[in-house]
Amino acid sequence: MRDRRRPLLLLTDFDGTLCEFQTDPAAVFLSDPCRTALSTLATRRGLSVGVVSGRRAADIRRRTTLDGPIYYAGLHGMEIDGPDARFEVPHLAARRDLLAELARSITAAVAPLPGAFLENKELSWALHVRAASAADRQRAEHAFWSLATPALDAGTLRLQRGECVFELLPDIAWHKGDAVRWIEADATRRLGSVVRPIYLGDDRTDEHAFDAVGTRGITIVVGRRPSQAAHRLKDPAAVERLLIRLAAVTQPR
């Protein structure tokens, strides 16, 4: 683990880690200094870079516009767009119709509640209540539970809880930790050498990734949330400073 010659695989979450949260998730884009640092790192010898998010992989690509060989892992890693390989969890698309039908009902139920809305991630749906009043938040959550519980109980769908986010996904056993393992294996294949993973994340869904990395690499939680990560950074601004420093000290290819 201390071997400095081993290639590094730098994986990071997006929202709350690379970027501050915004009331409107559509308004979140990577800052220019962060983009430059990550793009620089992606082209360094012995370094691979990836972004792992609950968003769609294509959405992350659009919001980061990074240069170089990058891994984009969307939907908590259920779809991964690598530099020369792709992955999608089997049977993922088959659950689409059921989710879409349920989403229509939840959308109608939360429509009268300001600040609560359902985000369409195409293969998953996320109820956001961050911007709602306490009363509306409660109403939105009540509607969500009464509509989603049958599918959750039946095991057709599962729930991924984030900070003020309730996300419904196909009940397929796959999370950010599995995504980390897939990317590690693919990066090892590409680079011809076992990689040492570094993972940065702020959300409880990132704990799966911290668990997958364990003591084989470096784990960094962002923010104050209790975490199994070995290290901690205060906020996305601190992450940005770290990436800029890393880009400055690593060797050009």
Structural contact between residues 1 and 196, judged by C-beta atoms closer than 8 angstroms: yes
Supply φ then ψ for residue 210, to 5 degrees. Answer: -60, -40
> Judged by CB under 5 A, which of 10, 11, 12, 16 binds Mg ion?
16
Contact string 141-170 vs Mg ion (x = CB under 5 A): ------------------------------
If the CB atoms of residues 70 and 147 are measured against Mg ion, the closer one turns out to be 70
Q: Which of residues 177-236 bind Mg ion (CB under 5 A)?
A: 202-203
Residue 220 forms beta bridges with which residues?
200, 231
Q: Is residue 15 a contact residue for Mg ion (CB under 5 A)? A: yes
Q: Is residue 59 a contact residue for Mg ion (CB under 5 A)? A: no
**Which region among 11-19, 86-94, 111-119, 232-240 touches Mg ion (by CB under 5 A)?**
11-19
If the CB atoms of residues 13 and 184 are measured against Mg ion, the closer one turns out to be 13
Nearest Cα to 208, choosing from 175, 166, 169?
A: 175
How near is the Cβ of 202 to Mg ion at its closest, in Å? 5
Q: Please say if 13 is a catalytic residue.
A: yes
Torsion, Cα of 112, 142, 165, 116 (10° steps): 10
Contact partners, residue 216, CB within 8 Å, separation at least 6 = 1, 196, 197
Question: Helix 134-154 and helix 96-110: axis angle, to 10°?
Answer: 160
Enumerate binding residues for Mg ion (CB under 5 A): 13, 15-16, 202-203
